[in-house]
A and B are shown apart, each in its own frame.
Chain A
Amino acid sequence: MSEWVIITNKGFSSDEWIGRSVIEPTNILSDNFGEEQLKKSHLKLGNDFQVETLKSFLPYLNAISIEFPSEKDGRGFSLARRLRQLGYLGVLRATGHVMVDQYRHATQSGFNQIAISSKLAKRMPEPYWQQQIDGFTPSYQEKLQSGSTNSYSSKKNILIKEAKNIQNLNLTNTGLVGAVVTKVIRWTDWSFSFRVARPKNFRFQSGEFVMIGLPGNNGKPLLRAYSITSPSWDDELEFYSIIIPNGPLTSQLQHISMGDTLILNPKATGTLLLDSLLPGKRLFMFASGTGIAPFISLIRDPEIYEKFEQIILSHTCREVKDLNYGKSIVETISKDPLIGEYADRVFYYPTVTRETFHTKGRITDLLKTGQIFQDLQLTPISRDTDRAMICGSIGLNKDIKAFLETSGLKEGARNHPAEFVQEKAFVASLNPIGLGRSF
């Protein structure tokens, strides 16, 4: 038996790091290590180390261990969490005096492995660890992080799974890339948003969509179209999704967490582009359900404020809760250093169809009756000043298009800009509800 026993979510195992060159932070900070060398090293950290100083090296490291000198010393848990926060995606090992009862703390703080001495392993044999691995501990922190008031997390101690970094997904020659999840927010029981690190060299225009997904059961990627809700300048990509019970992708996707890797086809496309519209004074954006996604990207892009004086964002949902995601982003505009000064030029107009709400009903009806203009104290839509974008259900797209055409507006495209655009590729062929929704 070797000196160390390694514990992962599969129980006891031998040390796969034997053969890696062991380095200390001073080596990294002073010596000139190449990327390849870092990838093959095992970085050992004392539990009082300022891990923040390592930030720029973290993408190249695969194996870091943190020392646990005694069962009472919990510094290592904070260090692990901080490393994960700083973006470290490789394997993280807790080495030293870790008790079987600290398995939960270690895994929930971001460790994938625990290394104990064979002497300690003799006193705390595998079956006791296995109990912890199989056990399920509900986590208040995960519950709060998800934003839910009473969701029952069915996830096990999730972080101790195989370290999933990009190398583990074999995407060579597929044209697809990996994108690492940095944040997941649960908005309602049936919707959530998530952010991923932006893959290198990936370009898109605000308002466009991409195909993203997870490896399917047959090993092939399972991809669906999602509008990017972050603006084009952001160094992360954000998406908004609903959960379809038994949907092949979303039933899996809802369980992603920080550090997981999604698959992304780095070719963005879409019709909801500012370039497809002729210059105008006001821009009306009509969304239903998750169709708000592309507009959430556009309103966070300073370009829209250069091109239009007023932005009217109408969003129709079934229930009040469904508005939360969009509403929370709209609320942040005024605090955004980049676009905060334009906040008073955004007119947000939420409507709800199936619950009591101050504006109730379908947006098409509110348009026809003129209610929306009355509520916002705006003049009715005119071809001279107004441009529009539509993204929603088939019915919504059809009705609004008809309404706009009655007002004299014509549909444009990238090669012939006009007065309005709609996201139809999606609506017609793939998805009956709207962008952002998958199945």
Chain B
Amino acid sequence: MYSYNDFDKNFVRQRVNEFRGQVQRRIDGVLTEEEFLPLRLQNGLYMQIHSYMLRVAIPYGTLNSKKMRQLALISEKYDKGYGHFTTRQNIQYNWIKLSEVADVLADLAEVDMHAIQTSGNCIRNVTSDHFAGAAVDEIEDPRPVAELLRQWSTGHPEYAFLPRKFKIAVTGSPHDRAAIAFHDIGLCAVRNDDGEIGYKIYIGGGLGRMPRIGRVLSEFIPKTQLLNYVDSIIHVYNRFGRRDNKHRARIKILIDELGLNEARRQIYEHYNSLKNESRLPSTDIIKFLMDEFSPPDFSTAKEHDLEKDFIRSLSLKNWAETNLTSHRDPNHVIVSVSLKKPGATPGDATAKQMRVLADLAQQYAYDELCVSHEQNIILPHVPKEHVVKIYNKLDEADLATSNIGMVSDIISCPGMDYCKLATARSIPIAKQIATRFCELKTERDIGPLKIKISGCINACGHHHVGHIGILGLDRRGVENYQITLGGDGTEDAHIGKRTGPGFSADKLMEAIETIINVYLNDRKDRNETFLNFYRRVGLSPFKLAIYGLPGTAYF
């Protein structure tokens, strides 16, 4: 895991001072509220409905116990004793006082953390695969490249005032768990014919009101040219991206308007001049970062037969079925801890729970944790012999919900309960759906199914890539929920299709149940997942079921 050196520590401390200065300048009237806004945002500070919200960066989601404990402490010192893990692997505190922000930042700096560039029109926190370093199918650990991009993009003088926000995701596996095709730039590790590892580059993907699947800009860029390449893309975007209309300002629109070929030509004009000058990063830096992320010594773990543990506990077996994933080392597993207990707010964890997770990581799992973009917490390397102990401790802390990838493992944005932009509530909808299927006890029968809910068209809940997506809108003062089907955020990227007119909050649950019943009744067998079933039969049987025959539907 990357550990801060003097340079990083000093940088973060300087930024805390800089922010104190900015707050002072605002108070002195040197800066107007309008001028202060982009500066405040670049330090992760939002104004929400009830209070300021501070979004803290967790680069590529990776944490250790010390950091997790500090996050817990901050939630108690400055907030209401809990934090919200987000779909971009960050954590948000929803009840922060402006006067205390600099102190929170100082506390974060103590454990090498910060809130830099978690918001605003700049290059945002770089996200990655939450199974990085542990995944069976990994070509290489993507985090050295993610860290490289973090360093390069942090405080970049040229790119702090872009037309709009800019999001980068990196994966090292062919199976994409980081939704790279839905980022402004997505990078995916590949091998070329010589066996050398480089990155395939996607550009102009995104959700929001104009969802786009990322387009392939290059099949292979060597690691020693990655920064020059990314630099060239963002340089062209900064100069030519639209600034006249906020909703058309993301790079996906620039690519639409220029066409991929013309965009590529402009980017390469710049790239060719950069790449002849230098290799950026240098091979030294690449090697240094790879060493920083060298895996723990897995050889100390004993062989252990989990099946024997399962015989003794059915609830453990049940949990293991959904929450354990194979690890690249046969004596280890990846443990996903669900923050989606039915009825609770998706992604929320209390200070106490954060400390339990920190303890478990430190005691049993090489002191490593990762926040997933699906708002759960991963213990990437767990020796099989410790699984029972971990399960029992999680259970005591109300963290043993066994629903990873299931219908109640819902991604949801904060919605109208917290967010100024939201047009509908989303957390109560998530709670309602999760609780409902929990009562029906059909979750296991339904199998893998991703439901994602956004409370407005900005799509922070990623509804476009939910197998079932729900978008909450405001229709003449009444909340109205549109449903999309067939979205997929993985390497097989698809944007969900809208079923038709939306549903009011009290009719929505019935529609979701109907959709799932269509699947349960008509699927070939239990091996045909919801997504595969949808791909086979298409939208019409679902439409028929939820709207009735044409002409009789309630439009």
Contacts and interface: CB of A to CB of B under 8 A. Distances in A.
B235 A82 contact: yes
A74 B269 CA distance: 21
A128 B30 contact: yes
Given A147-B282, A183-B278, A74 B162 contact: yes
Give the secondary structure class of B's interface.
helix
Interface string A64-99: 000000011111011101100100000000000001
A82 B239 CA distance: 11
A144 B121 CA distance: 23
A74 B39 CA distance: 13
Interface stretch (A148-156, A281-289, A290-298, A378-386): A148-156
Given A74-B238, A140-B151, A147-B285, A101 B39 contact: yes
B10 interface: yes
B438 interface: no
B10 A74 contact: no
Contact of B25 (A71, A100, A152, A328): A100
A344 interface: no
A75 B234 CA distance: 11
Nearest to B284: A147
A29 interface: no
Nearest to B153: A140
Contacts of A37: none
Contacts of B162: 74
Contacts of B18: 135, 137
B273 interface: yes
Given A82-B235, A100-B25, A152-B7, A72 B121 contact: yes
A145 interface: yes
Given A108-B157, A185-B278, A138 B121 contact: no
A144 B35 contact: no
Contacts of B29: 123
A107 B269 CA distance: 25
A39 interface: no
Interface in B230-255: 235, 238-239, 243
B285 A138 contact: no
Contact of B35 (A71, A140, A141, A183): A71
B218 interface: no
Contacts, number: 124
Contact of B30 (A75, A82, A124, A151): A124
A143 interface: yes
Interface in B106-122: 121
A74 B285 contact: no
Contacts of B25: 100-101, 128
A139 B154 CA distance: 9
A131 interface: yes
B273 A85 contact: yes
Contact of A75 (B6, B39, B238): B238
A138 B31 contact: no
B250 to A, nearest CB: 15
A328 B281 CA distance: 13
A130 B34 CA distance: 23
B279 to A, nearest CB: 8
Nearest to B11: A138
B500 interface: no
A417 to B, nearest CB: 36
B208 interface: no
B160 A105 contact: yes
Interface in B152-187: 152, 154-162
Contact of A145 (B10, B154, B280): B280
A123 B151 contact: no
B281 A138 contact: no
A147 B278 CA distance: 10
B227 interface: yes
Contact of B284 (A101, A108, A182, A324): A324
A136 B38 contact: no
Nearest to B17: A135
B156 A143 contact: no
A99 B35 contact: yes
Contacts of B525: none
A100 B26 CA distance: 12
A79 B235 CA distance: 9
A144 B285 contact: yes
Interface in B1-55: 5-7, 10-11, 14, 18, 21-22, 25, 29-31, 34-35, 38-39
Interface of A: 48, 52, 71-75, 77-79, 81-82, 85, 99-102, 104-109, 123-125, 128, 131, 135-141, 143-145, 147-153, 182-183, 185, 324, 328
Given A48-B239, A52-B269, A79-B239, 18 more contacts: A71-B34, A71-B161, A72-B38, A73-B161, A77-B161, A81-B158, A100-B30, A105-B157, A105-B158, A106-B157, A108-B157, A124-B30, A137-B18, A140-B156, A147-B284, A147-B285, A150-B5, A185-B278
4 closest A-B pairs (Cβ-Cβ)? A74-B161, A108-B157, A147-B282, A149-B288
5 contacts: A107-B157, A144-B280, A144-B285, A145-B280, A185-B282
